[in-house]
Structure 1
């Protein structure tokens, strides 16, 4: 079953656009019919058509943001040793630009795997906030950044190329420095979001640095914070080269905060799901007994589009998958203030099992808080304890007056 067929089976109205079609004319036709897209899946793997889409959506100025999934075929080197594609990696530029007024995620996947359509349908419908996602070997990877400690310096000459000089300048630097060192310098905006061209060139530089070239130069891509002075950069560069990494972000500010701000997207209106009756399951229907089970069944039914969820119904047998389970656990955390481990949910993926996990986790939190309080009391001297009891008594008297 194709991706379009899977989405249609979930109640989505689908319009397909073939390569070579006039995207602007098709979009104008749909808008003229009163049909505004909630979600767009871009499968063409080229930055030019995606940039055109950015312009068209900006001109359309719909009151509702659009949820956009950009799909590529193994462009990123995720697990090491993969053949990344720097040219196609530039698609991150328009993808970042789309984030400004819409929701956009980049999903890198091998389309030949048998479950590719299922995984893509899950990405499109789940609406998770991750910007850069890759599927490899049964795992879902999300790009993150970790702090690096720099110590020793590398005494060597390196060719430094600014990504603003363009793609050809980078490639010329690589061919002109066989066996040497090449540093491709980009702005921090290439990572946290900024000008479309800056982001695209930064993605190109990162993919170039990740490529393995026998006999070629070693390449390091560095995304610099504009607050770093030339003197600081000159001091840092030998230590960056000694790190052995292929890409480094240099930021004088909290990078996580910058990433969150750059990837903050408006809430897209999700197309309403078709609500289906409860499917035929291996377990009989048992209605919720408590208010907690009733609320969980409501969350469950909203996610799966099922009316009448029983407390013994299996989440995955009912049509759920790992991404929807991620959403469910997130909603449970927001609703009940309890962090349920995924392993705990997978052990008993039912409403009753999740309710028991919530109660157990809440009890564990209360027990830990009580143990902490007892430890604090035991650490007090008799005099300090009497002073605290006297203060508590005085506070109670004042509250009662």
Structure 2
């Protein structure tokens, strides 16, 4: 984004906690939640426009709600909401003539759609959108920007990859957002197949399986055949409840069409066939065949040691 403005001939000041390098931009290691530092920045010279795109999207911050304690929630709200509040506070103290002409806040489509491990992140983005409305600032709820998936560890996989924008698409969309203003949603490929539909959820009978098999969908990672007996047993169970074949060692349960209801059936079968009770939360932490197989092995090892 900073390079986009530089290429357009703008003088750019790029701030962030970790700094960074952008050719011909004034890069500063400044935390947007630091009121004094931000006030000093605005007092140096008039700033024509502000883009607030701070976020916490590392794998350690995107966790199931059961694992998202106060510190995780605080990280998301700090980067998104508290940073925007500081900007609002600082700008409000400036003389009218010195205030920026525009402010654009980066929200996320997760604020509308939610998503596995995105609870705290989605809540922070929803709060950011509300703040932008109160300040009469532009706010866009974006699908996945280029480079975002590179900072994750594959746990969120295909659903985000499917709706990732290319760099030209993202920058063209930003220019249109800046020109249009208001509260906007920028969705790569639309929202029709992602919005919840009332009455579309069916409660399946316990431990329901299917004999039908459909080809493995296109996923971000290549197919890797299951390795040991535990991985093969889990892959067979996943195929039986998801109707997908083959299932790879590194495939994500939710990318294959799994959801919380199917997960309950699948874990019941794991307990029945493998003799191991796996907590539902573990599936969100280890949503691949290989990850869950490691948990099964660990549980079996602990059980054996307890009998010794």
> What TM-score range do you get, normalising by the shorter chain?
0.3 to 0.5
Greater CA radius of gyration, 1 or 2?
Answer: 1
So what's the TM-score if we normalise by structure 2? 0.39
So what's the TM-score if we normalise by structure 1? 0.31
